[in-house]
Chains A and B, each alone.
Chain A
Amino acid sequence: MEILKTYKLYIGGQFPRTESGRSYAVVSPSGQHLANACQGSKKDVRNAVQAARKAQGSWAGKSAFNRSQIIYRIAEMLEARKGQFLEELQALGSDLKSATQEVESSIDRCVYYAGWADKFQTLLGSVNPVASSHFNFSVPEAMGVVGVVACQQTALLGFISQVLPALIGGNTVVVIANQKSPLCAITLAEVLATSDVPGGVVNILTGEVSEMLPTLSAHMDVNALSIAPIEAKLQQKAQEEAIDNLKRVRIFAEPLYAESAQGLPYISDFQEIKTTWHPVEQIAGGAGGY
């Protein structure tokens, strides 16, 4: 007799069961019971946001080069666990070819964003030639804690496509995984837990989007939302809840698994621009400017 795995939540680098004590069955398209997953609750959202907030300062404080290496390490770990992801994707209904493609694209996307981690600042920032005797420059800075509703169409690639651009910019995330197919997300959590990503940087919740999203979007300590295509009513409700603390809300009209769904704009969506002024002393006899 096969032992069924119970997938737990991933919060603050730990794998707790949901506070609610509930779980739900993850089934294959053919109706086969694959595993049990935690049905996350309000309190799990609260705990995840708390963990994300706690981790944010030191994550943003790491050097960009270091974040890049950590993301690249994820790619290496994914590669090593490729077989497990392929199995899960196939169990969830993909054929081998599309499952292989999804895993390989996911790995590629990790490598892609690992490379961006110490470069987007150069492109998003600027030195601004102000008319007064001041040095003036703008740099991108993490927004803070980003709440993510992951792609509900794909189990792995969409997740990675949404989480990584926020992550490399120094944000920490609380992700509501694909409701029907959360297995890859939790397996990915196991990858993260054994890689160099500090606990709390990525937090993953499974369960019903409609139950957890209102708490996440109303949470006053969440700075931004990244919402993959979901039911319009849910999405609007989230936008309304987000107003209270003026969360930055990015709604994706299309799922993010397309090849083109990567790039600088996905990073800049979760960056603030900070501009700093400082006087430039005029040295006698000299002339200069920026």
Chain B
Amino acid sequence: MMSQTNWNLEPSLESAAQIQLQAQYELFIDGKWQAPLSNTYFDNVNPADESHLAKIAWGNAADVDLAVCAARTAYDNVWSKLSGAERGKYLFRIARLMQEKAKELAILETLDGGKPIRESRDIDIPLACNHFFYYAGWADKLQEAFAGQQIAALGVAGQITPWNFPLLMLAWKVAPALACGNTVVLKPAETTSLTALKFAEICQEAGLPAGVVNIVTGYGDTGAALVAHPDVDKIAFTGSTAVGKQIQKACIGTAKKLTLELGGKSANIILEDAPIDQAVEGVINSIFFNQGHVCCAGSRLFVQESIAERVIEKLKFRLQSIYVGHPLDKNTDIGAINSKKQLETIERYIAIGLAEGAEMYQPDCALPSQGFYCKPTLFTDVAQSARIAQEEVFGPVLTIQTFRTMEEVVQKANNSPYGLAAGVWTDKGARIFGLSQQLKAGVIWANTYNKFDPASPFGGYKESGFGREGGRHGLSAYLKFSN
């Protein structure tokens, strides 16, 4: 008999050789690449190894003004005059071009943001393409979507996207905006501008009329200028609750329509009759997907006491086959933390968790010496009142609490200012519906977690924001209703 013990996969790096990065990226305004009036650029860093990727234009208020003017002109002269069917065709064309460049987009996304290539290749980019396909088909069916109501495009939409799903969040915002007849000024997050800039190229290649999509890169001040611009009719923001509140404040007294997708501290609940192995896998998906940089991450795990020990044992075992490493490695499950700043935030929360007396578990795995990385982390013996169980960490850090009754777990799950998502694991259908009615959250994943689809509305209750993205409901955010 032959005996083998160690069998380890070798690194399998996706080649980034086909990616031709420019040394410097300008702003995309009115269909052209324009040097920023600010005359300022910022450094873009690869979080996987801290290497320099490119210099990116840092737009100021004057640049934003140019972009908004271009969007307004394009809206007045071109886009608002096109039929829905014609707009739809542009969207279809963009979707197809994105599909054709899927590999390049996936590698760019991973280089720029640190997410595993498996995720950008299999999840982010295909979903982004599908989002354009989905909304392309709505463009000429808007009246059917809102029968009996008078609808019209809003005008110029200002959109601010986060760094965790750069191209996907762009798609969530740009696709429905264009389908509904609006033009767009988009400000991507400062650490992840590259796929938005690539998307600008795709718009050019698709022959999209100049000014319909404008990309103004920069930091928070750039976004603030966009929010403050008087000629913007709509603001769509995905990001932190704190910034969302500032934006809501800035919009008071204006006619701007606002949708916000903000933070979360979502509960993932495992009942004793759950399909336990799939539930454990669901937990892995819920908190370690995209390094935990997910607004709807199931960061609070609630396990019924009768199976808690077994679930934790299984989770710890499962962590042994989670690979933390270079994001371009096809076998990597957890890639790089998006930025040094975010890594510091996560590390601070881990320290808080330890100081609060929770028990921490991290698997014994080596981290790359360069770049920003964090081991998958479990905290057990966590109290509801602990800060790590209340505040959004936005990293691969899971708190585990136990419960005895359903009443108790519903109370604890809802005991949060947030209400973005929740997970429920049980074999009993009646219980799923009962619990999902009780949970105050915009998305309920029953016996699954972290699933997304263009046809499925996404958005939160309470301080997780308002408005929905995706599905027919996602159209409302970009239409004016008048009776």
Binding site for B on A (CB under 8 A): 126, 128-132, 134, 136, 138, 141, 143, 223, 236, 239-240, 243-246, 248, 260-261, 263-265, 272-279
Contact = CB atoms under 8 A, between A and B. Distances in A.
Contacts of A130: 451, 453, 455-456
Contacts of A275: 442-444, 456-458, 471
Contacts of B462: 223, 245-246
Interface string B422-457: 000000000010001100011111111001010111
Contact of B445 (A260, A272, A277): A277
B457 A128 contact: yes
A184 B130 CA distance: 54
A143 B461 CA distance: 8
B377 to A, nearest CB: 26
Nearest to B253: A236
A273 B253 contact: no
A279 B468 CA distance: 22
B252 interface: yes
B463 interface: yes
Nearest to A268: B476
Given A126-B472, A138-B473, A278 B446 contact: yes
A264 to B, nearest CB: 8
B441 A246 contact: no
A260 B483 contact: yes
24 contacts: A126-B457, A129-B455, A130-B451, A136-B455, A143-B461, A236-B252, A239-B252, A239-B253, A243-B245, A244-B245, A246-B241, A246-B465, A246-B466, A263-B148, A264-B148, A265-B149, A273-B457, A274-B436, A274-B443, A275-B443, A275-B444, A276-B446, A277-B443, A277-B448
Given A265-B149, A275-B443, 12 more contacts: A128-B456, A132-B451, A132-B453, A138-B456, A141-B437, A236-B252, A245-B417, A263-B148, A264-B149, A273-B459, A275-B471, A278-B448
B457 A138 contact: yes
Interface in B231-271: 241, 244-245, 248-249, 252-253, 260, 262
Contacts of A131: 130, 453, 455
B71 to A, nearest CB: 26
B483 A278 contact: no
A275 B444 CA distance: 6
Contacts, number: 101
Interface string B284-312: 00000000000000000000000000000
* CB-based closest 5 A-B pairs: A130-B453, A128-B455, A276-B444, A278-B446, A239-B252
B317 interface: no
Contact of A136 (B249, B456, B473): B456
A126 B146 CA distance: 13
Given A132-B453, A136-B453, A261-B483, A246 B447 contact: no
Interface residues of B, number: 42
A136 B453 CA distance: 10
Contacts of A239: 252-253
Contacts of B453: 128, 130-132, 136
A240 B456 contact: no
B471 A274 contact: no
B79 to A, nearest CB: 25
A279 B448 contact: yes
Interface in B124-176: 130, 148-149
Contacts of A272: 442, 461
A275 B442 CA distance: 6
A244 B447 CA distance: 34
Nearest to A276: B444
A235 B432 CA distance: 41
Point out which of A130, A138, A279 has the most chain B C-beta atoms below 10 A from its C-beta: A138
A143 B466 CA distance: 11
Contacts of B463: 245-246
A243 B248 contact: yes
Contacts of A278: 432, 446-448
A243 B253 CA distance: 14
Contact of B444 (A240, A248, A277): A277
A10 B262 CA distance: 37
A245 B436 CA distance: 23
A123 to B, nearest CB: 9
B441 to A, nearest CB: 7
A255 B453 CA distance: 40
A243 B457 contact: no
A265 B483 contact: yes
Given A128-B471, A276-B446, A240 B481 contact: no
Contacts of A134: 448, 451
Contact of B249 (A141, A223, A243): A243
Point out which of A132, A136, A275 has the most chain B C-beta atoms below 10 A from its C-beta: A275
A277 B260 contact: no
A129 B453 CA distance: 9
A265 B130 CA distance: 29
Point out which of B241, B432, B461 has the most chain A C-beta atoms below 10 A from its C-beta: B461
B443 A265 contact: no
A134 B453 CA distance: 10
A246 B248 contact: yes
A130 B452 CA distance: 8
A141 B462 CA distance: 13
A223 B262 CA distance: 16
A37 B446 CA distance: 51
Contacts of A138: 456-457, 471, 473
A244 B130 CA distance: 36
A260 B148 CA distance: 12
Contacts of B253: 236, 239
Nearest to A262: B483
Contact of B442 (A129, A245, A274): A274
A126 B145 CA distance: 11
A129 B444 CA distance: 16
A275 B458 CA distance: 7
A260 B455 CA distance: 32
A37 B483 CA distance: 36
Nearest to A223: B462
Contact of A265 (B447, B471, B481): B481
A280 B437 CA distance: 20
Given A131-B130, A246-B465, A263-B483, A277 B446 contact: yes
A15 to B, nearest CB: 32
Contacts of B252: 236, 239-240
A248 B466 contact: yes
